[in-house]
Structure 1
């Protein structure tokens, strides 16, 4: 997109918010970069240049606009769709891998050399992995500066900086303000920020942050939050006071998040035992709610099918519910094989109470973290209230996840993960595709054999057999996972409705 100058100029002149995060506008005369929807008067086209990432703008010597705050844009949907090495690298950087393991760790996860990864990212994104991670650290630092009363030294290390001096220099370079000036400005103009930024200060519970998660409109919360609430595992998840709440297992500790749908953002309330987990926690919440999707592009493609068009027009902006932990979802997918939603929740709740790590939740009823693959791999099969074949499937999966022979996550190769899952006993197309859809974030995952999909297809006049439906669904690519959400929505199931 950023190489199509004419299209970018049109988007900037029309202040089209759909392109926020897709590209960034840098102004040569002011040395400032903005989001396409910046409310300022657009510069002359000859003074504009366009970059694919905020990191590329910063590397080229531009600083962030103080008015539109481009660092708070939704993430680019391209990294959600694509499955190549660059997209996987971006998703891993968003997951904090560079901060925790360095560039060599990132390269090892992708199976490339450090030099290859740096060259590919620099060629396509205008910035290498260190610059991308630095831009993310700067954004996290700004969030903590403006929404908490944490001391600056603590913020520096919580955001991932190696020293206070680097923290100060980076904030000054990126935002043209010192950390103290950023905090004073936020305190003095709390109501002036755009609705996509994190502006609400934590007040109720120490260690709790309240922020806003931006998204591209429209967003239909019914199937998104309805699915999460209807399938919530007691002790790990709950729906309380209009919010989906759950526990989070994180690298430096654990957390509890409450997510509430609002018309122009998702309100996110995070309680963390270690603030260094903030960037990763936000990334996982965005992935859980599919907030970086481009609903206009998705719905335009699906609406071209006359049989799907009425469903899209009736409730546009459906998202694909994701997960905060791919291994957890894979285990839950096995527990949900050929049983009802209620039975799957019961099986999962038993595992949680027996093998999950207890946590305290003074504001609700959450009690445990979901068990890790290592904890599940070592349990006695006789203690599982499951059919023998399902026990074998579950324990084989847990062992493969624990020993690393099966990798599931934002940086996984989707085709390789599918092949490895199908090689495990008890894994068929349905289980593999539901994991690809929700745990791996594949927007083109498809479930032609799912009973709900087949029933909806038949009701709409679509082919009902898996083979014929797969052929018809070729015109929905690469958004077949979203088509599944629209098909499921024809059924009056709790997953399609916000809880009362």
Structure 2
């Protein structure tokens, strides 16, 4: 089941048709509308440069513009990235987080580096299609196949490493995923119209450059963004040793394909400050992708808020604090385990249970700048634990051990390639998994924007206080008008409470 939205004519149109609507694209470029960044790209026929719609340069004549659905399509057509607006750093299309069809799942996997690690055959195998089918679908919608899309991502990764670190160019080439130095040099020149050394010379030297292994960058998003519930939730539920709030930033450890890392994320008025410490620079693109996913930075808040504001009882909440995001996770399996630990207990108790698992079974890591000590234990590590050592009721032990066994042996897969409805069915068949647990995993681990929690006590209390139906069945019926953004409605309703999850820590 795909949850693709049907936008109002006044909002940003669907990505699959956006770049073909020339009149709307021209208006967006002429008005420099940043809401359209990432939805399409403007390729200028006279200069052979491609830009984001909000580029500060004087817009070209309409007859000199053509519009393409992805940076990869622009690069494949022979256009190079604008040096002023840096279109390769635009927020990602919200389509890939709001849909569950094959193209959206493929894009999430490509963004997570699957093509670089496993090739196009590996991507196709994960999705259950032939390579030809995947290539055809991506080409039809994005104007580029999986190799071109992965190449565009490699180019952006290379640019970040060149501009924000002092790593030698040879190491950057392979860290970014290029097979040779020559391919690296040719791609950088082709995409950015500068050599790697020229890019480095032009780059401003930020404070992160002088710290070995640390990379500082800005994560863009579509405004507005309300950080209160986003960072408040992550901080209030932080697992000791794995996560912490320190110095105005949310920090956590990351398990990555080639090693591990620590992410430090700081809310700023127009971006999220991101500082990454990685044991292997090849993990940079994946770490960025997972941080963006965690903070729901590719969402389209204008579309979400407009749909929800049509309900007169939700509208005041949205006017008061627009742009709420859904706090997600960097590791779906980790969140599933934490959801079980959090069943029918307080936030503090859930943190305590999770902290004990981390101390006993997590992988130790070093953190010279804070109090992070471990990676959250993998399903494989937890599958080997003795259930009698868990300070949980017997039924909860059974629920946890059954879950981690299914995750460890691959019976259940929770990842960017997951089919949301199939995952719901599989999770619902496990002992101790009721609707609340299934839906909270669908919301925060799988990223389904339409996941809904009508049985949640906080939801029901908030609904009753606003005059909405408070029984699960009646609330679900009323929420039909909120689709496909019910997960965002949950955030607005939860935010009516004074729980610590709804405010930034002091």
TM class by shorter-chain length? over 0.9
- Please state whether the residue corresponding to 1:255 is helix, strand or coil: strand
CA contact (8 A) 1:359 1:367 kept: yes
Q: Which segments of 5 or more consecutive residues in structure 1 lack a partner in the other structure?
A: 191-198
CA contact (8 A) 2:164 2:209 kept: no
Q: Using a 3 Å threshold, how does the CA distance of structure 1 residues 201 and 52 change in structure 2: closer, same or farther? A: farther
| Corresponding residue for residue 336 of structure 2 | 330
Identify the match of residue 423 of structure 2 among 400, 417, 427.
417
- Please state whether the residue corresponding to 2:476 is helix, strand or coil: helix
Q: Are 2:165 and 1:148 equivalent residues in the alignment?
A: yes
CA contact (8 A) 1:236 1:368 kept: yes
- Please state whether the residue corresponding to 1:202 is helix, strand or coil: helix
| 1:46 positional shift | 1.2
CA contact (8 A) 2:41 2:68 kept: yes
| Corresponding residue for residue 165 of structure 1 | 182
Q: Are 2:60 and 1:43 equivalent residues in the alignment?
A: yes
Identify the match of residue 71 of structure 1 among 77, 88, 97.
88
- Please state whether the residue corresponding to 2:218 is helix, strand or coil: strand
Q: Are 2:353 and 1:347 equivalent residues in the alignment?
A: yes
Q: Are 2:505 and 1:499 equivalent residues in the alignment?
A: yes
- Please state whether the residue corresponding to 2:140 is helix, strand or coil: helix
| Corresponding residue for residue 453 of structure 1 | 459
Partners of 1:204 and 1:369 in 2: how far apart? 26
Partners of 1:410 and 1:10 in 2: how far apart? 34
TM alignment of 1:199-278, pairs within 5 A? 200-203=206-209, 205-278=211-284
TM-score, length of structure 1 as denominator length:
0.97
| Corresponding residue for residue 24 of structure 1 | 41
| 1:70 positional shift | 0.2
Partners of 1:427 and 1:116 in 2: how far apart? 36
Partners of 2:207 and 2:24 in 1: how far apart? 38
Identify the match of residue 372 of structure 1 among 369, 378, 383.
378
| Corresponding residue for residue 178 of structure 1 | 195
Q: Which segments of 5 or more consecutive residues in structure 2 lack a partner in the other structure?
A: 1-17
| 1:184 positional shift | 1.1
Q: Are 2:439 and 1:433 equivalent residues in the alignment?
A: yes
CA contact (8 A) 1:255 1:272 kept: yes
Partners of 1:61 and 1:229 in 2: how far apart? 45
TM-score, length of structure 2 as denominator length:
0.96
| Corresponding residue for residue 194 of structure 1 | none
Identify the match of residue 5 of structure 1 among 15, 19, 22.
22
| Corresponding residue for residue 308 of structure 1 | 314
| 1:469 positional shift | 0.7
Q: Using a 3 Å threshold, how does the CA distance of structure 1 residues 263 and 89 change in structure 2: closer, same or farther? A: same
Identify the match of residue 363 of structure 2 among 357, 364, 370.
357
After TM superposition, where is structure 1 displaced by more than 3 Å over at least 4 residues in a row?
Answer: none
Partners of 1:69 and 1:17 in 2: how far apart? 13
User: Which segment drifts farther, 200-209 or 49-58?
Assistant: 200-209
CA contact (8 A) 1:201 1:209 kept: no
- Please state whether the residue corresponding to 1:386 is helix, strand or coil: coil
Partners of 1:498 and 1:67 in 2: how far apart? 34
Partners of 2:384 and 2:396 in 1: how far apart? 16
Partners of 2:250 and 2:273 in 1: how far apart? 11
CA contact (8 A) 1:418 1:436 kept: yes
CA contact (8 A) 1:148 1:201 kept: no
Q: How many equivalent pairs are there? A: 489
- Please state whether the residue corresponding to 1:345 is helix, strand or coil: helix
- Please state whether the residue corresponding to 2:60 is helix, strand or coil: coil
What are the superposed Cα offsets for residues 374-423 of structure 1, whole Å, 9 maximum, x if unpaired?
00011111011111111111111101111111110112111111111001
| Corresponding residue for residue 131 of structure 1 | 148
- Please state whether the residue corresponding to 2:430 is helix, strand or coil: coil
| 1:91 positional shift | 0.4
Q: Using a 3 Å threshold, how does the CA distance of structure 1 residues 257 and 163 change in structure 2: closer, same or farther? A: same
| 1:44 positional shift | 1.2
Partners of 2:126 and 2:425 in 1: how far apart? 18
Partners of 1:284 and 1:412 in 2: how far apart? 16
- Please state whether the residue corresponding to 1:440 is helix, strand or coil: coil
- Please state whether the residue corresponding to 1:33 is helix, strand or coil: strand
- Please state whether the residue corresponding to 1:50 is helix, strand or coil: strand
Identify the match of residue 286 of structure 1 among 289, 292, 315.
292
CA contact (8 A) 2:166 2:209 kept: no
What are the superposed Cα offsets for residues 277-328 of structure 1, whole Å, 9 maximum, x if unpaired?
0000000000000000011111111111100000000100100001000000
| Corresponding residue for residue 193 of structure 1 | none
Partners of 1:298 and 1:176 in 2: how far apart? 37
| Corresponding residue for residue 324 of structure 2 | 318
